Amino acid sequence: MAAEIGVRTLLVDARERLSAAGVESPDADARILLEVATGWSRSQLLIKNSVGVDVAARFQELINRRAGREPLQHITGVAHFRYVSLQVGPGVFVPRPETEVMAGWAVDRLREITDRTPVAVDLCSGSGAIAKALADEAPGTRLYAIELSEDAAGWAAQNLEGTGVELRVGDMATAFPELDGQVDVVVCNPPYIPLVAWESVQAEARDHDPQVALFSGDDGLDAIRVLTRVAARLLRLGGWVAVEHAEVQAESVPALFAGHGSYEQVRDHRDLAGRPRFTTARKVGTAVGRGRIGADD
């Protein structure tokens, strides 16, 4: 009988290595990587006591990669976002759970439209995560997405295949001019990290996510400034825009929308961890209510 190694021993050792390497979720990552190495499901893993040395060696290779701060999703090839799965890898920003609340907010706005076919645009689409979630949860919506990076757009094309989303490669500044004044919801997860904050960025993002998806000028607001103009052009009167931002931008981003002159009901929202994470605003056609800012409790 071939030698075997205990599952518990493997997981304990892996958790210790990942924790020492600074991985934020060593327990969960070790378990997921053992599932990958063995091909077992989570329930199977609970009842298995040992694995062969070949499987153990394969598991150690995966742990070595994760301990080197390679993103878990690059190792598994899959990222989960709300109710959909996405293929990800080098060249595309890995979607984060923090963005799921904003995507859900956009779904709610689209579901409110019952008298016509709603139209939504996903700017800075990256892997296509938000667009795919909207297609999944707000079926019947006319959906458009644009991504500047050709590498990232390649991943988005794979993820959006069969969804009906129209994907383009290009700059959001000039996105979809034929839709001007017709869009109900514009949603965007743009680059928003200040260049001066490079050292403080988590290693998985700094060393593996595309730089174009992370950094946006000295204050991190360059892309969002562009977004305020683009959304004002695309949205119909009464249409909504949602944009993700950094926690420290909870006041500066709403101020950009309030100061633009095209929006009312400017509001900031918190993510799953209770941190300020995204701003929403509504396109207005009169001066009434312009510039008013609110925030979630």
List residues forming the annotated binding site: 147, 189-192
The beta-strand segments (E) located in 124-163 are 142-147
Q: 3-class SS at 48?
A: coil
Q: Please give the annotated binding residues for substrate, written as ranges.
A: 189-192
The amino acid occupying position 225 is: R
Structure tokens at 106: 């956009």
Q: Please give the annotated binding residues for S-adenosyl-L-methionine, written as ranges.
A: 147, 189
Residues 6+ apart with CB under 8 A from 17: 26, 63, 67
Are the beta carbons of 131 and 143 closer than 8 angstroms?
Answer: yes
* Tokens 């090839």, residue located: 77
- 209, β-bridge pairs: none
For β-strands 119-123 and 50-52, DSSP reports them as unpaired
Question: Closest by alpha carbon to 72, among 100, 42, 36?
Answer: 36
